[in-house]
């Protein structure tokens, strides 16, 4: 299993809406995540900064990268740009900073 982590940022005043949009997550998006090998996926909110920390595990990196081409994923990214900070107003998805693992204990 490959562990991945990222940080994204909710726009000011939009953290609650971000959470609402995930509860429940679209069934077709959940199905796509599983199809592309995603498991053990969690997102955490740091309320004082509106930072969101995501953690997920993937079975295969190449397989996981293909999710970006899935229509449901692209639709979700556009939907979420309303509540997340993006590089530009025209960006098709939120600004995402991937994190490098520096420690792990099993």
Strand order in the sheet with 38-46: 38-46, 51-58, 2-9, 97-99
Catalytic-role residue among 3, 22, 35, 75: 22
Could you tell me the CA-to-CA distances from 93 to 9, 77, 87 in Å, in that order?
12, 5, 8
The CATH T-level fold of domain 2-99 is: Alpha-Beta Plaits (3.30.70)
Residue 2 has pLDDT above 90, yes or no: yes
**Alpha helix (H) residue ranges in the chain:** 15-21, 27-35, 61-65, 71-80
What confidence tens digit (pLDDT) does each residue in 9-24 have? 999 999 999 999 999 9
Domain spans of the chain, in order of start: 2-99
Cis peptide before 93 (omega within 30 of 0): no
Residue 89 has pLDDT above 90, yes or no: no
Q: Is 35 a catalytic residue?
A: no
- For residue 102, report the phi and psi dihedrals to the nearest 5 degrees: -115, -10
């Amino acid at each position: 299993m490959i562990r991945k982590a990222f940080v994204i940022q909710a726009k000011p005043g939009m953290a609650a809406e971000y959470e609402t949009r995930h509860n429940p997550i679209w069934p077709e998006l959940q199905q796509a995540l599983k199809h592309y090998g995603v498991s053990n996926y969690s997102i955490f909110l740091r309320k004082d900064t509106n930072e969101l920390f995501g953690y997920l595990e993937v079975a295969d990196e190449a397989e996981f990268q293909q999710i970006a081409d899935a229509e449901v994923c692209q639709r979700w990214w556009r939907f979420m740009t309303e509540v997340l900070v993006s590089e530009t107003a025209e960006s098709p998805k939120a600004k995402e900073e991937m994190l490098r693992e520096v420690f792990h204990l099993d």
